[in-house]
Amino acid sequence: MKTILSFTITLFSMALLSCNSQKAGNNSQQQVNPDAKVMVGGDKDEHGCKPSAGYQWSAIKQECIRPFELSDKLKDLTDDTMAAFLLFSENKKQVEIFAKDFKTPLVISASENEVYISTDKIYKLQKDAQNHWVLYKNEAGKEKAILQQG
């Protein structure tokens, strides 16, 4: 009986040592270059803005801004987890739209009083009957609301 118990303990110990050496081998294969330095928050885009801190370049202001701090907020009608933000030029002749649909913010110009249309005629921003901003997208000749204030 003593021999069986001793043999079982030895076999169990060998199995544990074998598992530990396999884990150590896997860990050594996954090592990252120790010389590579990664600085958290050290990212910058081509304009010097820090996206990880929420900053984006504004063509209208010519500086880095945090769009989520703007007062004109719109709901994304295609994704209720997202929002968009408007930034008007001081003279109100242009508006910059920060939204997930645009890789860089969309800047569109006023065509008439409080109606802004993109040069390609795809996007139109105007107020609705409740005096809320709505961004429409022209798809195959039909305007579809994609962003709405309020």
Instruction: Please give the average per-residue pLDDT across 48-71, as a whole number.
Output: 94
Model pLDDT, residue 25: 47
Average pLDDT over residues 60-77: 96
Of 10-24, 38-52, 79-93, 105-119, the least confident: 10-24
Half-sphere exposure (Cβ direction) of 35: Cα atoms closer than 13 Å:
0
- For 76, list phi and psi in degrees, rounded to 5: -85, 115
The arithmetic mean of pLDDT across residues 125-135, rounded, is: 96
The secondary structure element, H or E, covering residue 2 is: helix 2-29
Single-letter amino acid, residue 75? K
User: Tokens 């984006």 label which residue?
Assistant: 56
Q: Which pLDDT tens digit goes with each residue over 5-58? A: 555 555 455 555 555 444 444 444 555 555 655 555 578 888 889 999 999 999
Question: How confident is the model at residue 44, as a pLDDT?
Answer: 86
